Structure 1
Amino acid sequence: MTHTLLINPTITSRSSARFPLSLLNLAATLDRTGQSRIIDGNVDRDVVNETLRAMEGDRFDAVGISVMGGPQLAPAIALSKAIRARHPRVPITWGGYFPTLNTEAALAAPYVDYAIRGQGEQTFSELVAALGKAAVPDVAAIAGLSWKHGGAIVHNAPRHFTYTDPGRVLPYDKLGDPRRYLARTYLGRRTVAHQAAIGCRFHCTFCGVAAMFGGTTMLSSAERLDRDLRYFKHELGADSVQYFDNNFFDREEDMIPLLEVMARHELPWWCFARSDALLKLSDHAWKLVRKSKLRMAYIGAESPSGQMLKEIRKGTRPDQTVAAVEMCRRHGVIPELSFMVAPPENTEEETEHTFEFIRELKKINPHTEIVIYVYTPLPVHSQHEKDRAKRPSAPLFDLNGEQVVFPTTVEEWAQPQWVNYTCHADAPWLTDRMRQRIHDFVTVLRCRYPTVQDMRSPPWAKRALSTAASWRYRFRRYDRPWELNLANRLVRLRMPQVSGL
């Protein structure tokens, strides 16, 4: 029997920890033929020492580490180095978004032996089986795997995505008490995280999901969703659900069976959605949406420019954003809109245009939530192979007119400027003046309209900040809102683009 250690490096605070769904799905697959253990760095804060203690007390055939780019990269590096130093013969595999988008950089690290591209359940299961059979495993035929051979990096054939049902709820008991992952949110006092579908059939140029899944979407069966929701509601005591689906609403005919299940359970929920998909829903579908208690939908509006939406391959139009905001208002759903400002071309013009568009949307529905990011497209090497072949990306240039050169090592990607790039917080073509302009607008906007997701700040403080920001917002006096910055040191309003639901 193979024995595998699965680790989720620290990426958030303990209070913001949610189920490590990727590792739970891996464990469900690995446990069919072997054993696995999960260490979650978001809960086990001393994740390095916890990992070393586990490896000293037990024998593992392999270690699998789930790695997102951005702030999870540095903890993943520290963890991998510690394992390699103490247990040099145990193979280390990285899986998840970072090794999928930056495979060469991941395998250039001496502490990473294998990288899994895309979906990992079957690929990692086959790899662990091979590692358990021979000192020199034969991995050349394992689809979706990249590895080192004689100083060179080998990329095996890609693996097609599948959505397999483990036949039972995921092994949440491997996390200790699963109830400690339930959080108090805007939705309820015990919100659970879940994923009923993976992937997205669209190809946005800035989105890691597009690179990860290559335009594929797979939905859970209604039977599986019903089984999971019954477990959450009756075994864990959950009273609401945050769906981490990459794109919850897709085709209505596929969604109806799932909505019928959710309508029976009536657990308030949050999800990702697209404006065009919401507009296509029939009256019957909206009836199910209301009965199932959808409270908030995160919609990628991205830009008020039809041309930019076309260039980034979003597949929606600005008028659909406006219509979706109005439709959500009629059905009692709060639209949470994300926008990408400061593109490499026409940076200031596009940014100011977005600010004005946001103001118009607030007039239509003042309850609309706004999340603002900097537009940072994926490097060419990170794009899905199908997208690279269709349309070559235009080169990017920094403030000095020099072409942007992306990192080639894990350590470079972990530097602050590239963490910010990955998190859509900064870009090489932004001037200090533009950064300040964006920061000031966001400050005035979030003070004028504090998010309903903020469960920590007292209502009187949010009202006071809204009043204080009203004149600046009304007269577009965003520059240097010193009094709001000072007040935020005391109140500390929640920022959805940083902490999420």
Structure 2
Amino acid sequence: MNDAPHILLINPTITSRRSARFPLSLLHLAAALERTGSSSRIIDGNVDRQFVDDALRAMEQRRFDAVGISVMGGPQLAPAIAVSTAIRARFPAVPIIWGGYFPTLNPEAALAAPYVDYAVRGQAGDTLPELVAALASAADEAKLALIGGLSWKRGGAAVHNPNRRFTLADNGLVLPYDKLGDPRRYLARTYLGRRTVAHQAAIGCRFRCTFCGVAAMFGGTTVLPAAERLERDLSYLKHELGADSVQYFDNNFFDREQDMVPLLEVMARFEMPWWCFARSDALLNLSESAWKLVRKSRLRMAYIGAESPNGQMLKEIRKGTRPDQTMAVVELCRRHGVIPELSFMVAPPHNTAEETEHTFDFIRALKRVNPQSEIVIYVYTPLPENSRHEKDRAKRPAPPLFDLNGEPVVFPATPEEWALPRWVDYACHADAPWLDDRLRRRIQDFVTVLRCRYPTVQDLRSPSWAKRSLSAMAGWRYHFGKYDRPWELELANRLVRLRMPQVSGL
């Protein structure tokens, strides 16, 4: 009889089946559990719309020693709550462990829920196996206190163990994709190719932007893979699964050139078109020889956090880049055949309307330099102070936030409160308490005119004639800056339904 711990890993629904990609975090956890002698099963709510019922059915069919649930926050919170409450009601003795961005940024809120027993902060590859081992040996408080990155309950109060150092473990094997059933169903037709695969080579980001959940998660740490590991992974994805292109989920793909060149050399041999996150300063600092590798590896699009045209604001949020670098990188990308996908944050808490209009003007200037530049617009929603990394809170406290009435913004204290529509919008950078109806509408109208005038190349479903027609219809509004109430574009878009990358991704 096998007495090894068996863990149920769940990825609650967060996107459509069409947009589903590999649940990479759970695949890494499954590999980590296997290395330590445990086994696991993965249920992915992005492809299994009955994942709550299927999780209960799986637990009825065999014993699980714990349930691990990955929780991003925003739209994933409600299904995470649903599956957690269902499991707690049916199997009250089984420990429920939350991991991912939400419990990392909001451990107190996560543990305030009666259906969450443990919260893993940051990387869980070592924390989860250690917790599973402790639970298997009737864990006492002394054992729990030794597990880095763990938050737990003692006498009704939350206990937060010290953070854990990040690593990139490699057992010489590819991830256990077979736990997903047929992994080929996760390959998608995208702008990059007919069978685009999701992959993550490096983890973390060495920059510490104050608004960014990645900085709060990783605390300024980046760990890159060995070139041999990337070659092994790409070989499997291309030759075994049939992938023809790659969407890299690295938090910041381009870092220091000397570290990137060995990886680019591997990618140049595979020549699989790819998309990634990048920074303008990193791309501008690449040598011509590195750009030669980038072109040979077939980089098609780089998502660049431009954030703001205000240099002082970029300094305050510790972005580390300048507006002139944003302007320079769109020209650089044009010369090298790479489409820059630029994200901007409008409506900051101070000088809200003025900064928003300034951003609109800057976007128009970028489009004049490189019309192919893709633009993604978000509302600036800084992290709650207690969600920022502890080192950043100590060094530079964030200024207080106030709503339209001048009252301090009070953030939710439970998962249920964070799952309310207005806080889901906050987490998704779609709305903020200091945003009034007039400016909210102004932003919506600008985005409508902009995306009709310049439909994204990522949209493969809308007919070319429809996109050309919408672009022509929006031309006069964009040319004269007449964004208000574009009723004709909204009506036409109901029929065409242009793709919105900030909602549906690549």
Pick the TM interval, shorter chain: over 0.9
In structure 2, what residue type is equivalent to 1:121?
G
Q: Does 1:179 align with 2:149?
A: no
Corresponding position of 2:32: 29
CA distance in 1, matches of 2:397, 2:325: 28
Segment drifting more, 137-146 vs 468-477: 137-146
Q: Is the 8 A contact 1:444 1:478 kept in 2?
A: yes
Q: CA deviation at 1:166?
A: 2.7
Write the distance in 2 (CA, Å) between the matches of 1:221 and 1:342: 41
Mapped pair 1:360 → 2:365: yes
For the 8 Å contact 1:245–1:272, the answer to whether it is kept is: yes
Counting only pairs closer than 5 Å after superposition, residues 411-426 of structure 1 correspond to structure 2 as 411-426=416-431
1:86-485 paired onto structure 2 within 5 Å: 86-134=90-138, 136=140, 138-485=143-490
Q: Report the equivalent of 1:3.
A: 6
Separation in 2 of the partners of 1:402 and 1:157?
Answer: 34
> Is 1:498 paired with 2:503?
yes
Tell me what 2:23 maps to: 20
How much does 1:230 deviate?
A: 0.4
C-alpha displacement of 1:135: 6.3
Name the residue aligned to 1:76.
80
Large movers: runs of 4+ above 3 Å? none
Are 1:212 and 1:384, in contact at CA under 8 Å, matched by a contact in 2? yes
Q: RMSD between aligned alpha carbons?
A: 0.7
Query: Deviation string for 1:234-287 (max 9, x for gaps)?
Result: 000000000000000000000000000000000000000000000000011000
User: Per-residue CA shift, 1:204-239, capped at 9, x if unaligned?
Assistant: 121100000000001111000000000011000000
For 1:474 and 1:192, locate their aligned partners in 2 and report how far apart those are by CA, in whole Å.
Answer: 38
Matching residue's letter, 1:495: M
Figure out how many residues of one structure are paired with residues of the other and give that number. Answer: 501
The SS at the match of 1:15 is coil
For residues 499 and 232 of structure 1, the distance between their equivalents in structure 2, rounded to whole angstroms, comes to 23
AA at the equivalent of 2:201: A
Q: Deviations over 1:167-209 (max 9, x none)?
A: 1000000000000000000000000000011111111121100
Aligned equivalents of 1:248, 1:158: Cα separation in 2: 24
User: Are positions 1:59 and 2:81 aligned together?
Assistant: no
SS for the counterpart of 1:31 is helix
For residue 417 of structure 1, give the secondary structure of its aligned residue in structure 2: helix
Gap regions ≥5 residues in structure 2: none
- Supply the distance in 1 between the matched residues of 2:236 and 2:342 (Cα, whole angstroms): 31
Residues in 1 aligned to 2:121 and 2:243: alpha-carbon distance in whole angstroms = 33
Deviations 1:353-395 (A, max 9, x none): 0000000000000000000000000000000000000111100
Whole-angstrom CA distance in 1 between matches of 2:206 and 2:410: 29
Distance 1:166 1:499 in 2: 34
Question: Distance between the aligned counterparts of 1:393 and 1:130, measured in 2?
Answer: 37
Work out the CA distance in 2 between the residues paired with 1:306 and 1:372: 18
Q: Determine the C-alpha separation between the residues in 2 that align with 1:226 and 1:250.
A: 19
2:45 corresponds, among 34, 37, 41, to 41
Q: What residue identity is the alignment partner of 2:360?
A: F
1:118–1:213 contact (8 Å) kept in structure 2? yes
SS of aligned partner of 1:338: strand
Q: d(CA) in 2 for partners of 1:409 and 1:283?
A: 51
SS at match of 1:16: coil
Q: Distance in 2 between matches of 1:157 and 1:362?
A: 46
Letter in 1 for 2:76: Q
Counterpart-to-counterpart distance in 2, 1:63 and 1:179: 26
CA distance in 2, matches of 1:493, 1:453: 10
CA distance in structure 2 between the aligned counterparts of 1:253 and 1:315, rounded to whole angstroms: 20
Give distance in 2, aligned partners of 1:150 and 1:377: 32
Residues 130-176 of structure 1 show CA distances to partners (whole Å, capped at 9, x for unaligned) of 11122657311001101011111111111011111131000000000
User: Residues 63-114 of structure 1: CA distance to partner in whole angstroms, max 9, x if unpaired?
Assistant: 0000001000000000000000000000000000000000000001000000
Contact 1:29 1:166 (C-alpha < 8 Å) held by counterparts:
no
Partner SS for 2:378: strand
Whether the 8 Å contact between 1:262 and 1:292 is mirrored in structure 2 is yes
Deviation digits for residues 11-37 of structure 1, max 9, x if unmatched?
A: 001111000000000000101211111
CA-to-partner distance for each residue in 1:455-479, whole Å, 9 max, x for gaps? 0000000000000000000000000
Structure 1 position 488 matched with structure 2 position 475:
no
Distance 1:2 1:126 in 2: 12
Once the two structures are superposed, what CA deviation does each residue of 1:323-353 show, in whole Å capped at 9, x if it has no partner?
A: 1000000000000000000000001110000
Secondary structure at the aligned position of 2:144 is classed as: coil
Alpha-carbon offset, residue 44 of structure 1: 1.0
CA distance in 1, matches of 2:388, 2:171: 30
User: What is the CA–CA distance in structure 2 between the aligned matches of 1:292 and 1:29, rounded to whole Å?
Assistant: 30
One-letter amino acid of the counterpart of residue 102, structure 1: N
CA distance in 2: counterparts of 1:322 and 1:83, whole angstroms: 51
Distance 1:134 1:151 in 2: 19
Normalised to the residue count of structure 2, the TM-score between the two structures is 0.98
Measure how far apart 1:115 and its partner are: 0.3
Cα contact 1:271–1:298 (8 A) shared by 2 = yes
Distance 1:150 1:436 in 2: 48
CA distance in 2, matches of 1:203, 1:407: 24
For the residues of structure 2 that align with 1:459 and 1:434, how far apart are their CA atoms? 32
